[in-house]
Amino acid sequence: MLAYSANPLVVSVSEMRALEAWAVETLGLPSLVLMENAARNIAQVLMDRAHTFCAPVVIFAGRGNNGGDGLAIARQLDGAGVPTRTILMGPLERCSPECQIQARALLAAGYPLVVSADGFEIGPELASAGSIVDALFGIGLTRPLEAPYSTIIESINRSGLPVLAVDIPSGLDGDTGLPVGTTAVKATLTASIGGLKKGLVLPCAEIWTGEKVTISLGLPKIRQTPVHS
């Protein structure tokens, strides 16, 4: 199975959600399996491009499943010997179930996961970072970002560091290719999971997405076509 594709399926947000639902409900694949597949393949992208995404890799994880992806990526990279540091924008009890599982796995292993309420830790982390993974928000974002998230995104964009965005740059609308509010993460590379979200291929999205690759979820090729909900 290829970790990523240069000839991606292009899907709307609703089509991507329907594809994921088909994988869970029809194939019987738990969402954590899909998350693990995506995380392993994104970790491989980072390692394949280690000349760009230098260590230590600082991972910013939100409370939803995009954050769960980021936490799983941290575990995959750590297991491969890549130095990482991860900030989870907690509290843990407000994270999605999958995100909680990924966070608890890291904590149980003794990984130095920082659970932050306000993002004050980002300054020192960015000062010594080699690159960034943005796993704050995915395609579920529907309203403009407020502090501390808006402040974190501004700090990421000012850092000058290479940024890999998990699925979609945080703050960007997956269908329109425009920020939901006034800003979004400016990524060096966007690793879009399962299919390239249609907003990412629009000219208006180019300043936010950087290069784009599609990350495999490990689904059968027979259903690698848009699924309408």
pTM of the predicted model as reported, rounded to 2 decimal places: 0.92
Residue 160 lies in a domain: yes
Q: Which domain holds residue 110?
A: 8-216
Q: Which two tokens stand for residue 218?
A: 């490990």
Residue 161 covered by a domain: yes
| DSSP label of 76 | H
Alpha-carbon gap, residue 35 to 167, rounded angstroms: 12
Q: What are the residues whose beta carbons fall under 8 Å from the beta carbon of 156, sequence distance 6 or more?
A: 60, 126, 132, 134, 163, 185, 186
Asked whether residue 226 is domain-assigned, the answer is: no
Q: Is residue 91 part of a domain?
A: yes
Q: What is the CATH number for 176? A: 3.40.50.10260
Closest to 29 (Cα-Cα) out of 175, 224, 218, 228: 218
Number of domains in the chain: 1
In a domain, 165, yes or no: yes
- Tell me, yes or no, whether 223 lies in a domain: no
| Tens-place pLDDT, residues 119-171 | 677 888 888 999 999 999 999 888 888 888 888 999 999 999 999 999 999 99
For residue 229, being part of any structural domain is answered with: no
When pLDDT is cut at 50, 70 and 90, the band that residue 222 belongs to is low
Is residue 3 included in any domain, yes or no?
no
Q: pLDDT tens for residues 69-117?
A: 999 999 999 999 999 999 999 889 999 999 999 999 999 999 999 998 7
